[in-house]
Structure 1
Amino acid sequence: MKRQLLKLSAVAASALVLSACGSPESGTTQCTMEPQENWLDQGQFQQSLKDQGYKISEFKVTEGNCYEIYGVNQSQQKVEIYFNPVDGSVVKKEVE
């Protein structure tokens, strides 16, 4: 019985340490929890960005449920942008 309690205590302590450190994906930018049927159409969204002057070299859906682009903006600066795929809002943006 005592041995089982020690094992349970070790498991509980491990779980506490892991929760304090965060999950392996804690560095992931999270954009939405909405199901994909509520997302903007990928093709139409990319076209709207091109219409705004973006030149997209890469477009992908991230693990954090974002539309992410790599490319060049209207000012010819390199960009990496994460968009909320539900409403198209910018969640995170890096410009060089």
Structure 2
Amino acid sequence: MRKLLLLSLLAASPLAFAGPQCTTTDKAQWQDQAKFQEELKAKGYNIKKFKVTSGNCYEIYGWDKDKRKVEIYFDPVTGKVVKEEIE
């Protein structure tokens, strides 16, 4: 019974749902958030939510140019995609 409880607690842990680690670079070197979002919009993204994650990523929820639902983690320094989920 204790093992089951322990496994349940581990599965519910915030670490189980943590996103990727994108950078350890000082935030002074990151791209400007507003400008970065504008560049994504120019590429056809419709951003519903934008946030900075605990793993130092820019994360968006929204839709791509093909109207597919997306969740994407970007490296805030390079702008490269680190992780992407498309529905």
Q: TM-score, normalised by structure 2?
A: 0.80
Alignment-derived partner of residue 24 in structure 2? 33
SS for the counterpart of 1:85 is coil
Which residue of 50, 53, 61 corresponds with 1:59?
50
Moved over 4 A (4+): none
Gaps in structure 2 of 5+ consecutive residues: 1-13
Give the whole-Å Cα distance in 2 for the aligned partners of 1:51 and 1:28: 26
Gaps in structure 1 of 5+ consecutive residues: 1-23
Give the whole-Å Cα distance in 2 for the aligned partners of 1:79 and 1:28: 15
Give the whole-Å Cα distance in 1 for the aligned partners of 2:25 and 2:80: 14
TM-aligned CA deviation for residue 46 of structure 1: 0.1
Correspondences of 1:1-96 after superposition (within 5 Å): 25=15, 27-96=18-87
SS for the counterpart of 1:57 is strand
Q: TM-score, normalised by structure 1?
A: 0.73
Let me know the Cα RMSD of the aligned residues: 1.8
Once the two structures are superposed, residues 13-50 of structure 1 have per-residue CA deviations (whole angstroms, 9 ceiling, x without a partner) of: xxxxxxxxxxx647431000001000000000000000
